[in-house]
Homo-oligomer: A and B are copies of this chain.
Amino acid sequence: MKEIYHLDDLRVGQRFGSGSHVMDEEEIKQFAAEYDPQPFHLNNEAASKSFFQGLAASGWHTAAVTMRLFVKGEFKPAGGVIGAGLDALQWHQPVRPGDELSVETEILEVRPSKSRPEQGMVKTRVTTYNQRNEPVQTFVANLLVKRFVP
């Protein structure tokens, strides 16, 4: 593993791992109270009668935790993790209290910029797994990565 990856170091198919994080009930409710205040993210009783059939983390909470695991994980792009956006994001199943999340990043595309020779775009698939190795979230992100300038 390199310390920092320039555009020139990246190849389609490369994969990078991350540490893991256990989502605890308090944290799920705290995030929800601040950013996604809906009964099925806040209250066990209400959640058990909802679509989710039990307390579930906000998808945006899963996304935020994914970002931290990504930033602290193995793939450190030169210039930092700068996203222009996502092509798609899916939440495949609920994240529950006690679930342990980890992230795998796969390089899908590496494209030098025509107009800005010092940088390029990298398309990555970022998959968040739970402790049973089931994907709970996937997205495809378009990242701006610096080229190596000797």
**From residue A148, how far is it (CB to closest CB) to chain B in Å?**
16
A13 in contact (CB, < 8 A): no
| Cα of A132 to Cα of B15 in the assembled complex, Å | 41
**From residue A72, how far is it (CB to closest CB) to chain B in Å?**
7
Is B89 touching A85 in the complex (CB atoms < 8 A)? yes
Which residues between 30 and 60 of chain A lie within 8 Å of chain B, taking CB atoms?
31, 34-40, 50-51, 58-60
Q: Name A's B-contacting residues (CB within 8 A).
A: 31, 34-40, 50-51, 58-60, 63-65, 67-68, 71-72, 79-91, 139, 144
Is B88 touching A88 in the complex (CB atoms < 8 A)? yes
Give the residues in chain B near A71, CB-CB below 8 Å: 36-38
